[in-house]
Structure 1
């Protein structure tokens, strides 16, 4: 398989506090790759380094073979790196469709006025296709303020897909979801497997083992293991560091 996203000896420190310790991570094209680890392991810091929200102290980030280490987040997004966040970042007054049309316009580099969107019929069609894809059929004219938390998560995923991404960084997409909503999100992400390259940061282990082709484990900022779900389940070091299991049972 072809590596689409890589880090090489990626390191981030704040003074004497090292939050990412020389991480070498590779995402293969088309895989769903989960990143797990205990609280404080450095998962969000690593995602911030990948997306450009943070600049590394040392090391490099590569997207499709291009070094993007010094590019700001908006230029990484233009190159095909899309991200969702733990906390929803939507405009409450916008409808789902309008949010997506604006995202599609931004992808194309158009200048626009918020009040003059009547001529973008093809973009509205694409917005509705994306809403269908994430399970929001018929919700196109609903203001985001009137949507449930689960629907917000679905819309955020649609916004990421609107960027035609090479890689999607999904930061805890199950956060705050109830049991039924979590099951729905798992099925939605399963439907995208193989069609998109996904780095999934998630605490829900049922979701991780249901979705991931490979799993990487962070502990104290260091990558301690990468492998198949079966490999990670049976790895004594991972069980000790992540699950707090001393005897392997």
Structure 2
């Protein structure tokens, strides 16, 4: 018996309905934000933001106070998930994942306010960071000199340029050294992308030079996105910039394009530029 096929009329697709929000992800995408919005009641702190960060790319998000930068970071890491839009991390939709699951997938973040164990040593802080993202993090067995966690801690001390003060109590460190330690802790567990929230805030000129050297020494395959008010630092260590204003994307371009943009200068850079 011949089969009977019921034909349905084609569904009309409104012109423009297939947007970038539905476009396939590129294989080189590390972080993709599609029309991300974060509202608090009637206030849209982040409003329809779309950003793409390639694997290995160094990216900056700039803007004046209240532009929505930190709220955007909170949405990416999962502290305050978006109220609309989607977030993709290396092709996987992480919009609904809790923060600890995002961390396990290789996403890290530093904060404006230090989240350090001030009564412990530099070495102990880094060791806890290593154990926190690794297997056996609930083990009560003390790690010996040859334990992988111990070796990883020493590697972080070297990479964060803190070996010379490894056994110093964190409360005794200068502000810039504490910032270095935060970056070292964010490097634990081979992250694939790090969100740096104003790493240069409160640093002296010497400490800022050290920060630039540290950011420049990060592996080429590792992506990072930083929020920064110090343009001299931000534009020196990244290859792509997005400027936000009133919760929305104002401009995206290379550091040279952003620095030379008249509207960016008027809104963000001010008379200094």
Same fold (TM over 0.5): yes
What is the aligned counterpart of 1:74 among 94, 100, 104?
A: 100
Task: Give per-residue Cα distances to partners, 1:14-46, cap 9 Å, x unaligned.
Answer: 111111010001111111101100110000000
Find the structure with the greater CA-based Rg.
Answer: 2
Q: CA RMSD in A?
A: 1.6
Q: Does 1:179 align with 2:174?
A: no
Task: Give per-residue Cα distances to partners, 1:123-172, cap 9 Å, x unaligned.
Answer: 22221111111111222222211221111111111111013111000000
The 3-state SS of whatever aligns with 2:125 is: helix
CA deviation after TM superposition for structure 1 residue 240, in Å = 2.5
- What is the match of residue 263 of structure 2? 237
Q: Does 1:112 align with 2:139?
A: yes
Q: Does 1:40 align with 2:66?
A: yes
- Contact conserved, 1:83 with 1:160, CA < 8 A, in 2? yes
What is the aligned counterpart of 2:146 among 104, 117, 121?
A: 121
The 3-state SS of whatever aligns with 2:269 is: coil
- Contact conserved, 1:50 with 1:61, CA < 8 A, in 2? yes
CA deviation after TM superposition for structure 1 residue 241, in Å = 2.2
Q: 4+ residue stretches of structure 1 with deviation over 4 A?
A: none
- What is the match of residue 22 of structure 2? none
- What is the match of residue 96 of structure 1? 122
Q: Give the TM-score, by structure 1 length.
A: 0.93
The 3-state SS of whatever aligns with 1:242 is: helix
- Contact conserved, 1:97 with 1:124, CA < 8 A, in 2? no
Give the paired residue count. Answer: 244
- What is the match of residue 10 of structure 1? 36
Q: Give the TM-score, by structure 2 length.
A: 0.85
- What is the match of residue 192 of structure 1? 218
What is the aligned counterpart of 2:172 among 135, 146, 153?
A: 146
Distance 2:163 2:221 in 1: 20
Distance 1:61 1:28 in 2: 14
Distance 2:103 2:254 in 1: 28
Gaps of 5+ in 1: none
Task: Give per-residue Cα distances to partners, 1:215-246, cap 9 Å, x unaligned.
Answer: 1000000011111011112222222321246x
Task: Give per-residue Cα distances to partners, 1:96-120, cap 9 Å, x unaligned.
Answer: 112222221222231134xx52436
- Contact conserved, 2:144 with 2:150, CA < 8 A, in 1? no
Gaps of 5+ in 2: 1-26
Q: Does 1:157 align with 2:156?
A: no
Q: Does 1:228 align with 2:254?
A: yes
CA deviation after TM superposition for structure 1 residue 61, in Å = 0.7
**Structure of higher RCO (CA pairs closer than 8 Å, 6+ residues apart):** 1
What is the aligned counterpart of 1:63 among 66, 83, 89?
A: 89
Task: Give per-residue Cα distances to partners, 1:192-214, cap 9 Å, x unaligned.
Answer: 16242010110001001111101
- What is the match of residue 217 of structure 1? 243
- Contact conserved, 2:143 with 2:150, CA < 8 A, in 1? no
Cα 1:144–1:112 change in 2 (3 A) is farther
